[in-house]
Amino acid sequence: MTSPPSPPFEPANTLGRRPRLAVHKLSSCDGCQLALLNAGESLLTLAERFDIVHFAEAGIIDVDAEADIALVEGSVSTAEEAKRIQAIRARSRWLMPIGACATAGGPQALRNLADAEAWIASLYPEPQHIDARPTADAVAAHVHVELELPGCPVSTTQVLAALASLLAGATPFAEQDKVCLDCKRRGQVCVLVTQDAPCLGPVTVTGCDALCTSLGRACYGCYGPAENPEVATLAQRFAELGLDAEAVTRRFLFQQSGAEPFQQRVRAWHPKLQAGSATASADRGRDLASADRGSSMLSSMTSGMTSADRNLSMTSKEDDDD
Amino acid sequence: MTATHFLPRQHLQTLLDQLDALGYRCIGPQVRDGTIVFDRLSDATALPVGIGAHQTPGRYRLEHQDHPRCFAWANGPQALKPLLFAPQERLWRTERDDAGRLSFTSEPQPMQRQAIIGVRACDLAALALQDAHFAGPRADPGYSRRRRDLLLVGVECGQPANTCFCASTGDGPAISTGADLALTELDTGFLVRAASEVGSALCDALPLRAPSDEERAQGAAEIEQARLRQCRSLPGRNLRESLFANLDHPRWDEVATRCLACGNCVAVCPTCFCSTEREQPSIDGSSSTHLRLWDSCFSAEHSYVHGRLLRPDTRTRYRQWLTHKLGGWHDQYGRSGCVGCGRCIAWCPVGIDLTAETNAICADASESAQEAP
């Protein structure tokens, strides 16, 4: 267990000015900015207590502004973003990636497990115009960050609590509990035990208020792996419940496929799908063209194709299969 | 010997009405989300009539059965614990005035007399342990407030689940102590015993009659059958020595390969009492709420002791749970912390069986128990 570092400033009343807050965006759907914009009255309070210097969804645009606290949504997916995140880091005293994309790459990180260049080549007639790095990375893979708040989208409550703690000169609380514990604290009934639902609650960090299980649905892990996540054990359980190996793997291939413990499960299912990471070489993806079945599953997920359509996907068939 | 009365089934509603008239908020079992939960109950028809519960390790299914009984199931995921040891409770609130001075106020707790219907013998044994922890010399205010004036209508368990082992821990299925009223359900009604002054007064207000010899005999026979039908057991009632002598048993490594460290066993355990505290600051900086939440020995926070993560992995966390539950409790509360309800077995998403793990780890204890019965 690691503790987040100390806050970047003394309590607001000793700073002599309002702390500056920036909300940046990389490759993302803007949902995390909207989660913040949805804060209602708290947003007005936030605007009183902070000098909001950049927050595109709220109409405040100054991407180069210096900030005491910078929230960043989105993954580092393009060369321009790789450069920009360095600049954001240099101008921010406290950097806080928010949401699944910024903390684990998001759904776009599915390409980390495949041949991204081949995908682009198959989709665009003139792929040379596409600026896309071979991997979509978490912000922390590029720069030092002070605290990550996961989720798809990020929890408004968690962001506000973190900001409130920082304003008070306190270290923000970093949630580590699993969804299961949160689910039971709320008096909810285990969907895995009563319905055989392939719930990721046992390996997922909470922050979502156990939303899906409150509706009788299985958690799909959008907050990402908790500490000590027994992914292999849960995958084994899903197999016992009758899911085939591909269906088990798909459970770990939503917004958090870029998170190492979930990615391990994908590699265990198909060893040729090597880990995508920010440090991996750009041409690594080419070797993965041979990972026929896995790539084809991944491409079907991203393009919305069904399993039945998989033979039509772009993956090379010339390489060996398993 | 307490007198045994008989409450015909059609008068069960009278029991709820009487409790209501006495100012009690009634809480009882009902079907929800594929299981049986305890919630507000004013209508006896909302009870799980003709419902059975099929429980095996890691699996829970309700089934419709052709009988008029409403307590023909062993248990659901929770009974008394969340009603007394609140899963999330506000402890105090801090306010900051314009001059920056802080003031602290405890959370006001509304008084509400509660009557809980359908409590099992194992739940009553667990309640006694929770009382020892929360209502002892340093009584917890919230727990004590809810515990005071609590009226308990116990129902003896005639349908143990495959996961039950209360006979082995000595806590059931018959109700010996702890309830104000103890009921034994038959098709036609309930054998009723009052076990407190409040219970006796309640009996006086109910349309009771004397039970026939046949009814008495049937009730006793069903509960004896429930005892005999239990198929799991612990190797002894005090496994403290054996557990602490086996801290390096290879079974801890083996169970760690099956355990999710999700903490569901702790959450459904009626005796587990660990908690954590959190601060909820308001964004305007004027106030903060201090919360207490259920914790689990499977969480990182609970495993973090004095500057380091003392129990970093599933093996050490599972071992902490089991050795505390079945070992350390003897030092703290003079008995094991397990009442044989089997919830940790049914509600474990991977079906880990506490009795199987304990029998494997304490094999030496089982051998000596066999030698000296």
Partner residues linked to A51 by β-bridges: A20
Mean pLDDT, range A129-150, rounded to an integer? 96
Strand partners, B63: B52
Which of A111, A146, A167 is at the close of a domain? A167
Q: What is the structure's pLDDT at A8? A: 60
Neighbouring C-beta atoms of residue B291, cutoff 10 Å: 16
> pLDDT-based confidence at A275, cuts 50/70/90?
very low
**Which of A48, A160, A189 is facing B33, going by the closest CB pair?**
A189
Burial label for B97, CB within 10 Å (0-12, 13-18, 19+), is exposed
Rounded Cα distance between B120 and B341, Å, is 9
Residue A89 predicted with pLDDT over 80: yes
The tens digit of pLDDT for each residue in A248-266 reads: 999 999 999 999 999 988 8
* Partner-chain residue, chosen from B78, B281, B309, that has the shortest CB–CB distance to A165: B281
Q: Which residues contact B294 (CB under 8 A, 6 or more apart)?
A: A181, A184, A185, B85, B87, B88, B266, B267, B272, B274, B275, B276
The pLDDT, as a whole number, for residue A272 is 65
Shared-domain flag, residues A160 and A183: no
Q: Residue B364: which pLDDT band, with cuts at 50, 70 and 90?
A: confident
What are the domain boundaries of chain B? 4-86+110-229, 240-371
Crossing angle of helices A231-240 and A260-269, in 10° steps, is 50
Does the structure show a pLDDT above 50 at A316? no
Residue A315 in this model has a pLDDT that exceeds 70 = no
**Pick among B30, B54, B94, B283 to test the A interface (most A CBs inside 10 A):** B283
A287 confidence band (pLDDT: 50, 70, 90) = very low
Interface of A with B in 10-39 (CB under 8 A): 12-13
Assembly ipTM: 0.95
Distance from CA of B110 to the nearest CA of A (A): 20
pLDDT at B247: 97
CA distance A113 to A298: 8
How close, in Å, is residue A296 to chain B by CA atoms?
30
A16 & A139 share domain: yes
Contacts of A38 (CB under 8 A, 6+ apart): A156
pLDDT digits (tens, 9 = 90+) for A21-33: 999 999 999 999 9
Under the banding of pLDDT at 50, 70 and 90, the label for residue B100 is confident
Give residue B61's pLDDT.
98
Return residues 133-192 of A near B (CB < 8 Å).
160-161, 163-165, 167-168, 170, 173, 176-178, 180-181, 184-190, 192
CA distance A301 to chain B (A): 28
Number of domains chain A contains: 2
Question: Whose CA is closest to A167, among B107, B96, B88?
Answer: B96
Which tokens go with A287?
A: 């070797």
Report the CATH number that the domain containing residue A145 is assigned in CATH. 3.40.50.700
Give the model's pLDDT for residue B110: 77
**Band (A13; pLDDT cuts 50, 70, 90):** low
A294 domain residue, yes or no: no
Sequence letter at residue B269? C
How far is it, in rounded angstroms, from Cα A192 to Cα A195? 6
Residue A28 belongs to some domain of the structure: yes
% of chain B at pLDDT higher than 70: 97
Per-residue pLDDT tens digits for B195-231:
999 999 999 999 999 999 999 999 999 999 999 999 9
**A206 shares a domain with A278:** yes
**Whether residue A95 has pLDDT greater than 90:** yes
Q: Do A184 and B87 touch (CB under 8 A)?
A: yes
pLDDT in tens, B42-68: 999 999 999 999 999 999 999 999 999
Per residue in A38-50, pLDDT (tens digit) is 999 999 999 999 9
Whether the Cβ atoms of residue B358 and residue B322 lie closer than 8 Å to each other: yes
Closest-CA residue of B relative to A213 is B33
Task: Say which of B33, B282, B300 has its CB closest to residue A1.
Answer: B300
Give the pLDDT mean for B315-337: 98
Asked whether residue A191 falls in the same domain as residue A246, the answer is yes
Query: Is a pLDDT exceeding 50 seen at residue A150?
Result: yes
In a domain, A223, yes or no: yes
Q: Is residue A307 part of a domain?
A: no
CB within 8 Å: A1 and B304? yes
pLDDT over 90 at B317, yes or no: yes
Q: What is the pLDDT of residue A6?
A: 61
Please tell me which residue, B108 or A244, carries the higher pLDDT value: A244
A52 domain residue, yes or no: yes
Contact B264 A203 (CB under 8 A): no
pLDDT at B235: 96
pLDDT at A295 over 60: no
Closest by Cα among B332, B365, B369, B339 to B354: B339
Sign of CA dihedral B164, B168, B169, B173: positive
Domain encompassing residue A124: 12-167
Res. B155: pLDDT tops 70: yes
- Whether residues A137 and A90 share a domain: the answer is yes
B87/A185 Cβ within 8 A:
yes
Chain B residues whose beta carbon lies within 8 Å of the beta carbon of residue A173? 278-279
Which of A38, A186, A228, A231 would you mutate first to test chain B, the one with the most B CBs within 10 A? A228
Chain B: closest CA distance from residue A99 (Å): 20
The predicted pLDDT at position B178 comes to: 94
Do A191 and A163 share a structural domain?
no
CB nearest to B285's CB, from A168, A192, A196: A168
In the predicted model, what is the mean pLDDT of residues B300-311?
A: 91
Scored b (16 or more CB within 10 A) or e, A139-158 reads bbbbbebbbbbbbbbbbbeb
Phi, psi values for residue A222, rounded to 5° = -70, -15
Provide the pLDDT for residue A285: 35
Per-residue pLDDT, averaged over A6-29, amounts to 80
Cα-atom radius of gyration of chain B, to the nearest Å?
22
* Residue A15 pLDDT grade (very low, low, confident, very high; cuts 50, 70, 90): low
pLDDT exceeds cutoff 50 at B294: yes
CA distance A239 to chain B (A): 11
**CB-count exposure of residue A242 (10 Å: 0-12, 13-18, 19+):** exposed
- Cβ contact, residue pair B349, A190, below 8 Å: yes
Amino acid letter, residue A44: L
Residue B370 in this model has a pLDDT that exceeds 60? no
d(CA A225, CA A164): 25
How much is the pLDDT for A9? 60
Given a cut of 50, whether residue A322 has pLDDT beyond it is no
Average pLDDT of the segment spanning B136-153: 92
Closest CB to A237 among B34, B301, B349: B349
Which of chain B's residues have a Cβ under 8 Å away from the Cβ of A192? 58, 349
Cβ distance A173 to B33 less than 8 Å, yes or no, reads no
- DSSP letter for B245, please: T
Three-state DSSP state, A184: helix
* pLDDT tens digits along B172-189: 999 999 999 999 999 999
The answer to whether residues A32 and A140 belong to one domain is: yes
Q: Where are the beta strands (DSSP E) in A6-59?
A: 20-25, 51-55
